[in-house]
Amino acid sequence: MASATGRNLLELIDGADERGLAAAGLACLDRCLPLLAGDRGDALRPVWAAVARGDGAAWGEAVGKARVELDVADGADGTADARAVRGMLAEAPAAWTAEALRAWAGACSGTALALHGRYDAADVPDGLVERCRAGDADGAGPLLAGELRRQQAVLESVAHGPTGLRRARELSVEGGRVLRAVVSRRARTT
Protein backbone atom coordinates (compact mmCIF):
# COMPACT_ATOMS: atom_id res chain seq x y z
CA MET A 1 0.00 0.00 0.00
CA ALA A 2 1.76 3.10 -1.23
CA SER A 3 1.61 6.32 0.75
CA ALA A 4 0.90 9.71 -0.77
CA THR A 5 4.65 10.27 -1.11
CA GLY A 6 5.21 6.83 -2.63
CA ARG A 7 7.40 5.77 0.30
CA ASN A 8 6.58 2.74 2.40
CA LEU A 9 6.13 2.89 6.16
CA LEU A 10 9.69 1.79 6.96
CA GLU A 11 11.08 4.53 4.71
CA LEU A 12 8.81 7.13 6.32
CA ILE A 13 10.02 6.10 9.80
CA ASP A 14 13.65 6.16 8.65
CA GLY A 15 13.24 9.69 7.26
CA ALA A 16 11.32 11.22 10.17
CA ASP A 17 12.76 13.74 12.63
CA GLU A 18 12.36 13.57 16.41
CA ARG A 19 8.93 15.22 16.44
CA GLY A 20 7.68 12.95 13.65
CA LEU A 21 8.97 9.84 15.38
CA ALA A 22 7.48 10.82 18.74
CA ALA A 23 4.14 11.58 17.07
CA ALA A 24 4.20 8.32 15.13
CA GLY A 25 4.82 6.16 18.19
CA LEU A 26 2.39 8.12 20.32
CA ALA A 27 -0.32 7.93 17.66
CA CYS A 28 0.03 4.14 17.48
CA LEU A 29 -0.27 3.93 21.27
CA ASP A 30 -3.22 6.32 21.32
CA ARG A 31 -5.16 4.32 18.71
CA CYS A 32 -4.63 1.12 20.73
CA LEU A 33 -5.85 2.52 24.08
CA PRO A 34 -9.35 0.98 23.60
CA LEU A 35 -7.70 -2.37 24.33
CA LEU A 36 -7.20 -1.25 27.94
CA ALA A 37 -10.16 -1.40 30.31
CA GLY A 38 -11.82 1.88 31.20
CA ASP A 39 -11.89 5.32 29.62
CA ARG A 40 -8.30 6.56 29.57
CA GLY A 41 -8.34 8.79 26.51
CA ASP A 42 -7.00 11.89 28.28
CA ALA A 43 -3.96 10.14 29.75
CA LEU A 44 -1.85 10.93 26.68
CA ARG A 45 -2.91 14.57 26.23
CA PRO A 46 0.17 15.96 28.09
CA VAL A 47 2.42 13.74 25.99
CA TRP A 48 0.86 15.14 22.81
CA ALA A 49 1.46 18.65 24.17
CA ALA A 50 5.14 17.84 24.74
CA VAL A 51 5.40 16.58 21.15
CA ALA A 52 3.80 19.79 19.89
CA ARG A 53 6.40 21.83 21.75
CA GLY A 54 9.26 19.55 20.70
CA ASP A 55 10.37 19.73 24.31
CA GLY A 56 12.47 16.76 25.37
CA ALA A 57 12.27 17.54 29.10
CA ALA A 58 8.47 17.90 28.97
CA TRP A 59 8.31 14.71 26.90
CA GLY A 60 10.10 12.62 29.53
CA GLU A 61 7.97 14.04 32.34
CA ALA A 62 4.70 13.57 30.44
CA VAL A 63 5.59 9.99 29.50
CA GLY A 64 6.33 9.24 33.17
CA LYS A 65 2.97 10.63 34.27
CA ALA A 66 1.13 8.69 31.57
CA ARG A 67 2.81 5.47 32.73
CA VAL A 68 1.48 6.07 36.23
CA GLU A 69 -2.01 6.99 35.02
CA LEU A 70 -2.24 3.94 32.75
CA ASP A 71 -0.83 1.60 35.43
CA VAL A 72 2.01 0.44 33.21
CA ALA A 73 3.89 -1.19 36.07
CA ASP A 74 0.76 -2.58 37.68
CA GLY A 75 -0.21 -5.17 35.09
CA ALA A 76 -3.79 -5.09 36.44
CA ASP A 77 -5.29 -6.07 33.10
CA GLY A 78 -3.67 -9.33 32.17
CA THR A 79 -4.88 -9.77 28.58
CA ALA A 80 -2.17 -10.13 25.98
CA ASP A 81 -3.53 -7.12 24.08
CA ALA A 82 -3.52 -4.90 27.18
CA ARG A 83 0.01 -6.00 28.04
CA ALA A 84 1.11 -5.11 24.50
CA VAL A 85 -0.43 -1.63 24.79
CA ARG A 86 1.14 -1.04 28.19
CA GLY A 87 4.42 -2.30 26.79
CA MET A 88 4.30 0.37 24.07
CA LEU A 89 4.16 3.06 26.76
CA ALA A 90 6.64 1.30 29.04
CA GLU A 91 9.20 1.30 26.20
CA ALA A 92 8.76 5.01 25.37
CA PRO A 93 12.21 6.55 25.70
CA ALA A 94 12.73 9.29 28.24
CA ALA A 95 15.40 10.74 25.94
CA TRP A 96 14.27 12.94 23.05
CA THR A 97 16.81 11.60 20.55
CA ALA A 98 16.27 10.46 16.98
CA GLU A 99 17.88 7.08 17.64
CA ALA A 100 15.76 6.25 20.70
CA LEU A 101 12.54 7.63 19.22
CA ARG A 102 13.09 5.83 15.89
CA ALA A 103 13.47 2.47 17.64
CA TRP A 104 10.35 3.15 19.73
CA ALA A 105 8.26 4.37 16.79
CA GLY A 106 9.25 1.30 14.79
CA ALA A 107 8.31 -1.04 17.63
CA CYS A 108 5.00 0.77 18.22
CA SER A 109 4.23 0.56 14.51
CA GLY A 110 4.69 -3.21 14.46
CA THR A 111 2.74 -3.73 17.67
CA ALA A 112 -0.19 -1.57 16.55
CA LEU A 113 -0.39 -3.31 13.18
CA ALA A 114 -0.27 -6.74 14.82
CA LEU A 115 -2.98 -5.78 17.32
CA HIS A 116 -5.25 -4.46 14.58
CA GLY A 117 -4.58 -7.57 12.52
CA ARG A 118 -5.80 -9.77 15.39
CA TYR A 119 -9.22 -8.14 15.14
CA ASP A 120 -9.59 -8.69 11.39
CA ALA A 121 -11.97 -11.47 10.39
CA ALA A 122 -9.21 -13.58 8.86
CA ASP A 123 -6.04 -14.77 10.54
CA VAL A 124 -2.94 -12.70 9.87
CA PRO A 125 -0.38 -14.88 8.09
CA ASP A 126 3.15 -14.92 9.43
CA GLY A 127 5.20 -12.05 8.07
CA LEU A 128 2.20 -9.99 6.87
CA VAL A 129 2.83 -7.10 9.27
CA GLU A 130 6.43 -6.73 8.10
CA ARG A 131 5.38 -7.02 4.45
CA CYS A 132 2.81 -4.26 5.04
CA ARG A 133 5.43 -2.03 6.61
CA ALA A 134 7.69 -2.65 3.59
CA GLY A 135 4.92 -1.66 1.15
CA ASP A 136 3.18 -4.96 0.30
CA ALA A 137 -0.26 -4.98 1.95
CA ASP A 138 -1.59 -7.84 -0.18
CA GLY A 139 -3.73 -10.03 2.09
CA ALA A 140 -4.22 -7.40 4.81
CA GLY A 141 -7.71 -7.27 6.28
CA PRO A 142 -9.61 -3.99 6.64
CA LEU A 143 -8.43 -3.19 10.18
CA LEU A 144 -4.79 -3.89 9.42
CA ALA A 145 -4.96 -1.97 6.14
CA GLY A 146 -6.67 0.96 7.87
CA GLU A 147 -4.03 1.09 10.60
CA LEU A 148 -1.29 0.99 7.96
CA ARG A 149 -2.89 3.95 6.13
CA ARG A 150 -3.20 5.90 9.39
CA GLN A 151 0.43 5.28 10.31
CA GLN A 152 1.58 6.51 6.92
CA ALA A 153 -0.72 9.55 7.06
CA VAL A 154 0.56 10.51 10.53
CA LEU A 155 4.18 10.46 9.40
CA GLU A 156 3.38 12.38 6.21
CA SER A 157 1.31 14.99 8.10
CA VAL A 158 3.91 15.61 10.79
CA ALA A 159 6.66 15.90 8.17
CA HIS A 160 5.05 19.22 7.21
CA GLY A 161 5.82 20.68 10.63
CA PRO A 162 4.03 21.17 13.95
CA THR A 163 0.73 22.01 12.24
CA GLY A 164 0.57 18.40 11.06
CA LEU A 165 0.12 17.28 14.67
CA ARG A 166 -3.55 18.27 14.57
CA ARG A 167 -4.08 15.83 11.69
CA ALA A 168 -2.10 13.17 13.57
CA ARG A 169 -4.41 13.59 16.59
CA GLU A 170 -7.50 13.42 14.36
CA LEU A 171 -6.24 10.19 12.82
CA SER A 172 -5.59 8.77 16.29
CA VAL A 173 -9.08 9.65 17.52
CA GLU A 174 -10.62 8.15 14.38
CA GLY A 175 -8.55 4.98 14.64
CA GLY A 176 -9.35 4.64 18.35
CA ARG A 177 -13.08 4.85 17.59
CA VAL A 178 -12.79 2.18 14.92
CA LEU A 179 -10.92 -0.19 17.23
CA ARG A 180 -13.26 0.56 20.15
CA ALA A 181 -16.28 -0.33 17.98
CA VAL A 182 -14.70 -3.58 16.83
CA VAL A 183 -13.73 -4.58 20.38
CA SER A 184 -17.22 -3.72 21.64
CA ARG A 185 -18.91 -5.68 18.85
CA ARG A 186 -16.69 -8.69 19.49
CA ALA A 187 -17.43 -8.56 23.24
CA ARG A 188 -21.19 -8.62 22.54
CA THR A 189 -20.91 -11.67 20.28
CA THR A 190 -18.79 -13.79 22.63
**Integer Cα distance of 84 and 7 in angstroms:** 27
Are 153 and 169 a contacting pair, CB within 8 Å? no
Residue 93 carries which side chain, given as an amino acid letter?
P
**Mean pLDDT over the full length of the chain:** 89
The per-residue pLDDT for 61 is: 95
Model confidence at 145: pLDDT above 80: yes
Q: Give the relative orientation of helices 98-118 and 142-158 as an angle to the nearest 10 degrees.
A: 160
- Which is nearest to 151 in space by CA: 42, 29, 17, 54? 29
- Nearest to 20, CA basis, from 101, 129, 103: 101
Instruction: Please check the confidence at residue 52 and state whether its pLDDT lies above 70.
Output: yes
Q: Flag the least confident range among 67-71, 76-80, 82-86, 140-144.
A: 76-80
Residue 172 CB partners (closer than 8 Å, separation 6+): 26, 27, 30, 31, 150, 154
Tell me, what's the pLDDT at 11? 97
Predicted model pTM: 0.92
Question: At residue 97, what are phi and psi to the nearest 5 degrees?
Answer: -125, 150
Average pLDDT over residues 151-164: 90
Is residue 138 pLDDT above 60, yes or no? yes
